[in-house]
Every structure is written in C-alpha cells, then in structure tokens.
C-alpha cells in the first residue's frame, strides 16, 4: 500500500505559536527523548488538551522531562525493574506520553492496552504480555482491577503523575 510519497520522512518537530519546524538528532533510545526535547524547547508547549471545562491543560517540554523522570522513580518504588512489562490502560491525554516515557526511563517495556477492547481481548493482552503493573486512567480503573489477572498490580495513572508532580516540587 502506498501513501503517495516515495521519499524518506525526516524526523521533525512542529511547535505551536508559529515557531519554525526543526529537526532534532535521533536519540539512541526513547528514554533519552524527554531530556533532549527539554534542552531544545524548554518551556514551550509539548502537549495541550482541552478539558471538559473548555480550558487547556498543557505540559511543557521541561515539564514532560521532569514528570517522566518522577514517574520512573514512582514506578521503581512500585517494584518495576528493567525489562518488566507495564500496561498503560488509558485514553489519549497528556498523562499518557508522560507515563510512557516514565516506563522507558525506568527500563520497563510499555504495553499499550486499548480502552475500547472487549473484556476477553483485555484479559488475553494482560496475560499474554506478562504484565507486572498496569497504569489505568481513573475512568478505567475499576474495569482494569476487575479483569486483570492475579499478581498484577493496578494503580491510577492520574494519581501517579500527580505524585510525580508533587515529588518534583520537593526540595
């Protein structure tokens, strides 16, 4: 299947506010990407999402770097070790990439779990992937706890990101 473009696609970051498009060097591994972007773009918006109250929730590149680092520490405190599989059971939100980079920085393997999947698909993915932990959005926390195989810890994605944010503010 062709998309109509035969040439190579360069790595490009588009920034808001009329900023120019700029290529970044490719990081050796994904866990290095937040720090690389933080150095390059700092306080600029990395992720922005409109909330139910029609306000924007925004994370800067600096914030993503700090929060994903905090999430990696939180994950380690929950027992996540290098090569452990960590499920992410949440819809799109700024917390999703923060948690994903936190998993990478903790040395874990990210296992995205589809929030629209049927119960049988969720159970199969959770068992087959060998999960150690699931980060579930508050809206899906009860379902995750109900259908997750025994021995797999389920925690709130929002609570862990909030705790990482609070940890970041400590002296």
* DSSP tally for the chain: helices H, then strands E: 6, 6
pLDDT digits (tens, 9 = 90+) for 143-158: 999 999 999 999 999 9
What does the domain layout of the chain look like in residue ranges?
30-168
Query: Residue 53 and residue 146: Cα distance in Å, rounded?
Result: 30
CB-facing half-sphere around the CA of 109: CA atoms within 13 A: 8
Q: Are strands 131-136 and 153-156 parallel, antiparallel or unpaired?
A: parallel
Query: Residue 48 and residue 30: Cα distance in Å, rounded?
Result: 21
Q: Please, are residues 145 and 98 in contact by the beta-carbon 8 Å criterion?
A: no
Report which listed range, 25-29, 50-54, 143-147, is most confident: 143-147
In degrees and rounded to multiples of 5, residue 13 shows phi and psi of -115, 125
Is the pTM for the entire model greater than 0.85? no
Does CATH number 1.10.3720.10 belong to domain 30-168? no
Return the structure tokens found at 132.
């150690």
Q: Please, are residues 92 and 47 in contact by the beta-carbon 8 Å criterion?
A: no
pLDDT digits (tens, 9 = 90+) for 69-116: 999 999 999 999 999 999 999 998 889 999 999 999 999 999 999 999
């Amino acid at each position: 299947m062709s998309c109509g473009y035969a040439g190579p696609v360069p790595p490009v970051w588009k920034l808001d506010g009329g900023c120019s498009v700029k290529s970044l060097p490719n990081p050796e591994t994904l866990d290095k990407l937040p720090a690389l972007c933080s150095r390059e773009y700092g306080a600029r918006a990395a992720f922005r999402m409109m909330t139910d109250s029609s306000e924007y929730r925004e994370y800067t590149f600096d914030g993503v770097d700090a929060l994903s680092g905090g999430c990696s520490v939180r994950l380690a405190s929950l027992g996540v070790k290098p090569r452990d599989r960590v499920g992410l059971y949440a819809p799109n939100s700024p917390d999703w990439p923060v948690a994903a980079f936190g998993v990478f920085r903790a040395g874990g393997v990210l296992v995205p779990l589809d929030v629209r999947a049927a119960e049988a698909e969720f159970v199969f993915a959770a068992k087959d992937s060998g999960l150690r932990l699931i980060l579930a959005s508050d809206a899906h926390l009860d379902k995750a706890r109900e259908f997750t195989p025994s021995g797999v810890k389920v925690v709130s994605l929002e609570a862990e990101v909030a705790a990482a944010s609070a940890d970041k503010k400590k002296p």
